[in-house]
Structure 1
Amino acid sequence: MSRRRSIMSEQFKEELAKELGFYDKVKQHGWGEITANEAGSMVKRAVQMAEESLRNRDKT
């Protein structure tokens, strides 16, 4: 089975994990150890950031 390419870069995921407070867990145990709730929080925050970026882009 081939691996799917991630939509988010590794750096962006790490930044989100740091912001949301579980980067230490990722660093120690890898991405496979985050909870579904933590993964959902990452997606939610990424969507919020994208929406903010679009709003700011439309203002100019």
Structure 2
Amino acid sequence: MGKGVMSQEYKDKLAHDLGFGEKVEDGNWSDVTTGEVGSMVREAIKRGEQAMVEKAEKNGNSHQNIQ
């Protein structure tokens, strides 16, 4: 993943939330599959979109593309 895109702490949390955190507890990501990384990316996007929706709702804003 690109530098500064996701913190190490957030990547570790996602890995644990998605059920493969034990693979990365030692800091070695070499056993993580491309499918698992893909799952992390999808989940990070999903959570980011949800955070944007919640922020917009909190601020009383809405946008036609925010679901």
Unaligned runs of 5+ in 1: none
TM-score by length of 2: 0.76
Unaligned runs of 5+ in 2: 59-67
Question: Would you tell me which structure has more helix in proportion to its own residues?
Answer: 1
Q: Which runs of 4+ in 1 moved over 3 A?
A: none
TM-score by length of 1: 0.84
What percentage of residue pairs aligned between the two structures are identical?
Answer: 33
Aligned residues: 57
Higher RCO (C-alpha under 8 Å, 6+ residues apart): 1
User: What RMSD in Å do the two structures reach over aligned CA positions?
Assistant: 1.5
